Structure 1
């Protein structure tokens, strides 16, 4: 089995402002359940992004999926899951899962 890490390329969008915060202590203090919930949201949003041309996602999700497209469509074991985890960690700084508008869009 292969192990590795994924580093998303931010050239597709303006996510460079988030990369400075990726290694801040808040990511290491996260509850496992919170990360699982965030990963479920990422997977749901990815399904919406990849399966529907009619849905316009918020900017964060659009840019994250454009930057990680190759990783999210990879057949290499673990690459897709690593990308999902990284996007979930980035969403902590950018996306409020409990905002009423997001809740109405995301059904996990």
Structure 2
């Protein structure tokens, strides 16, 4: 079985300036269900990134996918999954998956 880790080329996309402004710790022991949900979001956003020319993704996704493009486009499933997991972990600090509360009109 092939296992490994991926170090995304953040300098290529320079995500450092995005994460430097946020004072939220990265959790070592992440909730498995939340990570699965975030990985689904990463895969969906990657699909949008690679197949839609009309939709402009938020900056986080653009920069993350540019930095990880080679790994996400890899023919090796373990490399792709490691990149998806890494982006999902980073999204905890930046991307809120909860929709905003609905405004009740009066």
Q: Which TM-score applies when normalising by structure 1?
A: 0.80
Partner Cα separation in structure 1 for residue 4 and residue 67 of structure 2: 18
Aligned residues: 96
Could you tell me which residue of structure 2 aligns to residue 105 of structure 1?
Answer: none
The CA deviation at 1:42 is 0.3
Gaps of 5+ in 1: 101-108
Partner Cα distance (1:8, 1:42) in 2: 14
Distance 2:91 2:61 in 1: 9
Are 1:13 and 2:13 an aligned pair? yes
Indicate the residue corresponding to 1:45 in structure 2.
Answer: 45
Corresponding residue number in structure 1 for 2:2:
2
Provide the alpha-carbon RMSD of the alignment: 1.8
Give the equivalent residue in structure 2 for 1:83: 83
TM-score (norm 2): 0.82
Q: Distance in 2 between matches of 1:62 and 1:97?
A: 17
Asked which structure has the greater CA Rg, the reply is 2
